[in-house]
Amino acid sequence: MPQNNILIGETIYIVGHKNPDVDSIVSAYAYQIYRHSQGDFNYIAIRCGKPNSPTKWLFEKFNLQIPPLVEDVSNMKIALVDHTEPSLRPNGWEKAKIVEVVDHHKLTLETAEPSKITIRPYGATATLVGQKLLRQKSLLKPEIAGLLLGAIIDDTLALRSPVTTQTDKEVAGELSTISGIGDISEFARDLFNKKDSWNKLKPREIILQDYKEYQIGKVTISISQVETMDNQKLLKISEDIFMELKKINLENPINYRFVMLTDLLRNDCILLCLGENPQAIEAIFNRSMEDSYKIHLPGVLSRKKQILPTLIENANLLSVSNL
Ligand SMILES: [Mn+2]
């Protein structure tokens, strides 16, 4: 697919992470608009996986086209948005050239040549891209502002997650004005209602819908997140989910697997835990497990800002010294 257009130069494909969420697809889309506004017409937004329900709902709401699917980025020049972790990159990245990064996560990158890196510790990549577009307001159409606002709301859980910064709030405020979306909480509720699609899914799909793997030293873990408006309903099938998690781990054994059942209204998380050293997990979260796989964590909503850093800080406990 690499193209060399003599008029606009070699194409750079803007791509979010595997299992794309709203932020990954919207940021790629909006970053293309920003680049084109700078005269860089060789930037093209793509996605490397199926859009989730909130993403589809947003693009439909604003009557916009979701970027096209590219399953393998071998031999392409790519700009990574919303991630750098190798396990989250699109298939074929080993044979691609990462020329740019636009992200809000910690950087994991080894490049042969210097790339253009833009990372800000915001709650969403969409905040970063939104900021760039807001500097030239004339270019920011209401529907693009709405799309970016949706991504910020999704990644920051309506500006309530601990990942939320003052900049997220300010950018969201400006975007809401431009988009004409007056009632942010109603917009957020509509968006989050699309997340509650888990009741149509099988346990395996629930686990893999928003699934990320991480390497912490020698320990490999996975953390799935299921965001709901009511995790008590999900709790009823938690045992089925846990059994499926065990099955997944038999097929592909890693050290620990977690599933976060977060409740956006109650502001808490039921964490399903599978791993080599359950005592370590209890010690790390300072709570005992129910039915030897569930931990209730009040006030926990964020994988990136709460669960993952807690595990990284306690990596010494995780690394199975008693193997
Ligand atoms: Mn994001």
Question: Does 197-318 match 4-191 at the fold level?
Answer: no
pLDDT in tens, 249-271: 999 999 999 999 999 888 899 99
Distance in Å, CA 17 to ligand 1 centroid: 9
Give the N- to C-terminal CA distance of the chain in Å, as an integer.
47
Q: How many CB atoms lie within 10 A of CB 225?
A: 21
Distance in Å, CA 118 to ligand 1 centroid: 14
The values of phi and psi at residue 209, to 5°, are -60, -45
Going by their DSSP bridges, the two strands 77-81 and 12-15 should be labelled as: parallel
Q: How many CB atoms lie within 10 A of CB 236?
A: 8
Are 152 and 158 contacting, i.e. CB atoms less than 8 angstroms apart? no
What is the rounded distance in angstroms from the CA atom of residue 8 to the CA atom of residue 36? 11
Instruction: Give me the CATH topology for the region 4-191.
Output: inorganic pyrophosphatase (n-terminal core) (3.90.1640)
What is the rounded distance in angstroms from the CA atom of residue 16 to the CA atom of residue 212? 13
Instruction: State the alpha helices, DSSP H only, in 63-182.
Output: 125-134, 142-155, 166-179
Write the CB contacts of 93 (distance below 8 Å, at least 6 apart in sequence): 73, 78, 86
In this structure, is the dihedral angle defined by the CA atoms of residues 187, 184, 150 and 134, taken in order, positive or negative?
positive
Distance in Å, CA 104 to ligand 1 centroid: 7
pLDDT in tens, 161-193: 889 999 999 999 999 999 999 899 899 989 998
**Ranges of each domain in the chain:** 4-191, 197-318
Ordered per-residue pLDDT tens for the chain, 323 residues: 445 555 667 899 999 999 999 999 999 999 999 999 999 999 999 999 999 999 999 999 999 999 999 999 999 999 999 999 999 999 999 999 999 999 999 888 887 676 799 999 999 999 999 999 999 877 799 999 999 999 999 999 899 888 999 999 999 999 999 999 989 989 998 999 887 778 788 999 999 989 999 999 999 999 999 988 889 989 999 999 999 999 999 999 999 999 999 998 888 999 999 999 999 999 999 999 999 999 999 999 999 999 999 999 999 998 765 44
Distance in Å, CA 199 to ligand 1 centroid: 24
pTM: 0.82
Burial class, 181, CB count within 10 angstroms (exposed 0-12 / middle 13-18 / buried 19+): buried
Write the CB contacts of 70 (distance below 8 Å, at least 6 apart in sequence): 1, 13, 15, 46, 47, 48, 76, 90
Distance in Å, CA 315 to ligand 1 centroid: 24
The values of phi and psi at residue 299, to 5°, are 75, 5
Distance in Å, CA 23 to ligand 1 centroid: 5
- Determine whether domain 197-318 maps to CATH 3.40.50.150: no
Q: How distant, in Å, are the alpha carbons of 84, 277, 287, 314 from that of 283?
A: 30, 10, 7, 9
Distance in Å, CA 321 to ligand 1 centroid: 34
